[in-house]
Each structure stands twice: as structure tokens, then as C-alpha cells.
Amino acid sequence: MSAFFVCKNGQNVSWDSVCDGRRQCSDGSDERNCYCQGDVYACLQGNNVSCRIACTTYGRVTCLTYRNNLACEQYIRERSSTFSF
Ligand SMILES: [Ca+2]
């Protein structure tokens, strides 16, 4: 497993850069795939995390090499918006 995240353009950035809401890769690939699809967040290493459990228990998705707060912010925002209709 790489110590760095490799951007689509070949640039290396730290895993802390992934899904932190700012672009460290000049092509923005460190901010891609940062959101839950329904209840599931697919980590970049291939394991899947349940957003419902991760977000309600920890407030963030924890993957093998990085943490993702953005996924939970969006997940919780989407859940709460369903009550406003
Ligand atoms: Ca970033």
C-alpha cells in the first residue's frame, strides 16, 4: 500500500489530503469519490463502509489510509433535508 495518494495526473499527495475539501492534486482527483452512494461509501482501496453506521457513530468515514468527513456531512445533510418536505 502506498504511503501517498497518487493523483490521476501522477502527482503524489499525503493521504490526509484526500477528501479534505481542498484540491491538492492539480486535477482535483483527491476530491473525487468523496461521497456516500446511498448508504455506502467506497474507499479508494476498495473496502466499503456503511455511511449510516460510520456517520451516526463516529461522524466520519474511516478508510484504511484516510478519513472522510465530507461524506458524513453530505450524508447527514441529505438525511435531515428529507424531514423538511
Ligand atoms: Ca484534498
CA of 20 to the centre of ligand 1 (A): 5
pLDDT in tens, 11-27: 999 999 999 999 999 99
Ligand 1 centroid – CA 29 distance (Å)? 8
Average pLDDT score over residue span 36-56:
94
Q: How far is the CA of 19 from the centre of ligand 1 (A)?
A: 5
CA 73 to chain centre: 10
Instruction: Tell me how far CA of residue 19 lies from CA of 35, 49, 50, 79, 85, in angstroms.
Output: 9, 15, 17, 20, 30
CB 62 within 8 Å of CB 54 = yes
What confidence score (pLDDT) does residue 82 get?
65
Residue 80 Cα to ligand 1 midpoint, Å, equals 26
Please state, as a whole number, how many other Cβ atoms lie within 10 Å of the Cβ of residue 28. Answer: 13
Q: Are 62 and 55 in contact (CB under 8 A)?
A: no
